[in-house]
A and B are shown apart, each in its own frame.
Chain A
Amino acid sequence: MPATIDERTVCQPRNAEFRAWWRRAIKVIEEPGVAEDDPRATPDAISPERLQLADARIFHLSPIVGQLVELWNEPEEDEYGRLKPTRHAFDTSVQFLIDAAIVAYPRYGIPAGCASTDSECGVRIEWVRPGASVHLVVPAEENRPPYVYHEVGNDYATEDATAERLAYWLKSID
């Protein structure tokens, strides 16, 4: 499609534009030696350069979300109890993880953790380290608020879950 923006096409913005905006978004310095677009070529939807810039240290997030997807695909229950989270618990826990990763970025990332369901189909995500742990608990139903429980040394407490608090406590144990 044409090199200039033409509203009759649906092509994506050019790589240079992506890079400029993503520099602002994630506050990183552009890597030297990134090749410019060939103006004769159709722009890709997302350039490889942009994908590099957008490698937002959401490193352990995919595995945790992957665990949640596995739980979501489980049967409703087995002989030990219910396995599959409710839709509310699934959606809310994924949203907390993503929003906490955004809060944390670019200073630090979300560490590796372990997801499971409770007997009522709520979701529990735990980050357990020697001498410290953080637990995100999302009940099955909307009328019960999610919370974050932490134990760091002799300090322990439960508080309403927010992306900011989850990111804060995860930083302290990473």
Chain B
Amino acid sequence: MVTWQEFTLRSVYTAMFTPDHSAFAGSRVVATIMRQFGDRFSGDMQVLPIPPGFPPEFPAVVLKSGDGSQEVSAGPGRFNCVWKETGPGVSVTLREALDQCVPVLEHYVRERNVRVERLGLVLQRACPNDNPALTLIQRFCTEESQREPFNRSATFEIHNHKEYAPEGVNYRINSWVRCQCGPGGPENASVILVTQDLNTMATELRERQFDADKIGVFFSMVCDEAEAIIKKYFPK
């Protein structure tokens, strides 16, 4: 059986949602990020005008690291900092990836005095596997279900959503886990993909506001949550 230790991190998206759309200016985003993290985001830069009716969650600014492993994207309603695996042999823990991303979010909020009403973490892990569908079915389905109807599955996925208040914070979060089959990685090998999405509730926007310190607390908390969850899905 596959265990959590066999998974490697593919990507980590840290996202914060900013309701004051009119305060957004792409040029200010670039100046603010480049002043503090200019050495890191030395790759391609993209900044485009925002036409009327432009969806606020779409990015108007993209800044990339030279090796493509990190990226900032920002629009009027959403700011992302992303870490991506760039090749085999690079083993990074979730905590290490977040240590790269979260200071960028905190810096932006402190410098621009941005109001943040929602936060999210989306991460993807992969584990090479010759028959991902069969492995997932054997892990998550009863023997009866394995015989029928899941006896000839070419692909298979499970998708689980929970809402709960984690320890240490006074708000609830959504926690999604999606286990999928798929090709992935540089060699397009057969893999089990696990996507986790932990985010604060959209229904509690008016009640929440996250300053830089609270942003740090949120991502530290969901880091622990995400690690605990993957161990439950794929225990030793």
A94 to B203, CA, bound (A): 38
Please state if B120 and A10 are interface contacts (CB–CB under 8 Å).
yes
A173 to B13, CA, bound (A): 41
User: Known contacts A9-B197, A11-B197, A13-B57; is A40 also within 8 Å of B180 by CB?
Assistant: yes
A42 to B123, CA, bound (A): 11
User: Known contacts A8-B161, A10-B120, A65-B30; is A25 also within 8 Å of B201 by CB?
Assistant: no
CB of B178 closer than 8 Å to a CB of A:
yes
Contact with B along A14-29 (1 / 0, CB 8 A): 0001100110111000
From 14 to 67 in chain A, residues with beta carbon under 8 angstroms from any chain B beta carbon are 17-18, 21-22, 24-26, 40-42, 45-46, 51, 54-56, 58, 61-62, 65-66
Q: Which one of A46, A62, A97, A105 contacts B48 once the chains associate, using CB atoms below 8 Å?
A: A105
CB of A158 closer than 8 Å to a CB of B:
no
CB of B26 closer than 8 Å to a CB of A:
yes
Please state if B13 and A51 are interface contacts (CB–CB under 8 Å).
no
Residues of B within 8 A of A172 (CB): none
Please state if A8 and B44 are interface contacts (CB–CB under 8 Å).
no
CB of A118 closer than 8 Å to a CB of B:
no
Please state if B35 and A91 are interface contacts (CB–CB under 8 Å).
yes
Q: Which one of B31, B182, B203 contacts A41 once the chains associate, using CB atoms below 8 Å?
A: B182
Beta-carbon nearest neighbor of A95 in chain B:
B27
A-B contact number at CB 8 A? 138
Residues of B within 8 A of A119 (CB): none
CB of A68 closer than 8 Å to a CB of B:
yes
Please state if B34 and A102 are interface contacts (CB–CB under 8 Å).
no
A15 to B223, CA, bound (A): 28
From 40 to 60 in chain B, residues with beta carbon under 8 angstroms from any chain A beta carbon are 42-51, 54-55, 57-59
Please state if A58 and B30 are interface contacts (CB–CB under 8 Å).
no
Please state if A10 and B46 are interface contacts (CB–CB under 8 Å).
no
Please state if A54 and B155 are interface contacts (CB–CB under 8 Å).
no
Please state if B73 and A56 are interface contacts (CB–CB under 8 Å).
no
User: Known contacts A7-B202, A10-B197, A13-B58; is A58 also within 8 Å of B174 by CB?
Assistant: no
Please state if B30 and A94 are interface contacts (CB–CB under 8 Å).
yes
CB of B28 closer than 8 Å to a CB of A:
yes
From 5 to 32 in chain B, residues with beta carbon under 8 angstroms from any chain A beta carbon are 13, 15, 17, 25-28, 30-32
Beyond A66-B38, A69-B34, 5 additional contacts (C-beta under 8 Å) are: A13-B55, A18-B58, A45-B59, A46-B71, A90-B31
Instruction: Give residues in A with beta carbon < 8 Å to B.
Output: 1-2, 7-13, 17-18, 21-22, 24-26, 40-42, 45-46, 51, 54-56, 58, 61-62, 65-66, 68-69, 72-73, 87, 90-92, 94-99, 101-102, 105
- 11 cross-chain CB contacts under 8 A: A1-B178, A17-B55, A21-B55, A24-B54, A42-B178, A56-B46, A69-B35, A90-B31, A91-B28, A94-B35, A95-B28
